[in-house]
Homo-oligomer: A and B are copies of this chain.
Amino acid sequence: MPVDRRLGVTAAAGFGAAGVSCGLKQSATPDLALVVGDPGTVAAGVFTTNQVVAAPVVWSRDRLAASADARVVVLNSGNANACTGPAGEAAVLATVERAATELGCRPEQVLVCSTGVIGVPLDAARVSDGVAKAAAALDRSGGLAAAEAILTTDTRVKQAGTRVAGGATVGGMAKGAAMLAPALAPPQATMLAVLTTDAVADPAELGEALATAAAATFNRITVDGAQSTNDTVLLLASGASGARPDPGDLAAAVAAVCSDLAGQMLADAEGGTKVVSIQVGGAGPVEAALAVARRVADSPLVKTAVYGGDPNWGRVLQAAGTAGVGFDPGLVRLEVAGGPGAAGIEPPAGPLERLPLVSQGRPTGADASAAMAAREIELRLHLGGSGPWAEVRTSDLTPEYVRLNSEYTT
């Protein structure tokens, strides 16, 4: 399903948004975003499964576990409000109370997301002032401003949207460039994403569409294998279009937007120069294929080889062999393709040409240097058994990633 990256959280009818600066970031760039659905809006969410979760995650997860009746999302960048103890919980309460006052709703209808430095007390007064400032700036076309205000080490705004058959729209925004290997569960995702739709939909339908989409998209990307304390994906439905799309169509639209936002995060990965799609098949059950794909995607040796443009199939096989999945190395086939669309980032320029690197466990001698030089790369590994294909996407590991993360305190 084609997506349009000009469509953000205010592409769907019934939503306003804003992005302002409230002084959390030293750079004085925007750091507080507000997304507000008209009265009647319902919400679903998936959250990080890390044992260590930030105060805003606890609040938002508890609210959505109790009720889908939520229509306001306050997001701040510059501070994760994680490992901040009772003061962190108090900051969340102050935030939702101020938002409720400013926007005429109940505090329980306000969800909160934070991203930034861990373990530093969140300045609740600044956030509260920021909420008031954002409420005053709320605009039916404020999606882009909101998308800018949630960025941390991201270098680009991430938006995607699509139209659903029957007249509804799904749009969304995301941030995330490192500490990025979401493992979201219902109620499970430092990436943040907020999707909105003007479709009429039951909360259960929204929840299922979001959980399914997150499992197949955000949960299948990894920059550094590091699952955050703050990952959150929210989907709000205003019903303002009056259209009630087929649940399958709505789910497909949500999945398409999530997939594109996930790809945009990889394309903007800290220090990253390339995106790789690791596809594994013939591993038996899909879980086994996924386990192998994850091992390959998280291998520093594979990721540095990708950075170097080295078709190092030996490292791919070496990593695949450590996933706890049995296979006969003599039956392995590995193909590589490079070019736009090979990892689902840009529209493909044409059909991908797949070059066999390994056949029956042996190197073919093919020269894959051109494919490996591309910005998008597909590595397709068949283990010789039966079973479906599974895909995990990742970025390369570069000196710049190391530099950024040795100098920047998350």
Chain A contact residues, CB within 8 Å of chain B: 50-53, 80, 82-85, 117-119, 178-179, 183, 224-229, 298-301, 304-305, 307-308, 310, 312-315, 317-323, 325-327, 329-330, 358, 361-363, 397-399, 401-403, 405-407, 409-410
Contacts and interface: CB of A to CB of B under 8 A. Distances in A.
A85 B51 contact: no
Given A83-B361, A301-B405, A52 B308 contact: no
Contact of A320 (B52, B118, B183, B305): B52
Contacts of A224: 299-301
Interface of A is mostly: loop
A356 B166 CA distance: 60
A85 B402 CA distance: 37
13 contacts: A50-B322, A53-B321, A53-B329, A80-B314, A83-B314, A84-B362, A224-B300, A225-B299, A225-B300, A226-B299, A305-B409, A398-B402, A399-B402
A304 B397 contact: no
Contact of A403 (B80, B300, B358, B399): B399
A321 B50 contact: yes
Contact of A308 (B312, B330, B406): B406
A52 B321 contact: yes
Contacts of A397: 300, 402
A275 to B, nearest CB: 16
A388 to B, nearest CB: 20
B226 A317 contact: no
A363 B327 CA distance: 46
Closest 8 CB pairs of A and B: A118-B314, A308-B406, A52-B321, A51-B321, A399-B399, A304-B405, A50-B321, A224-B300
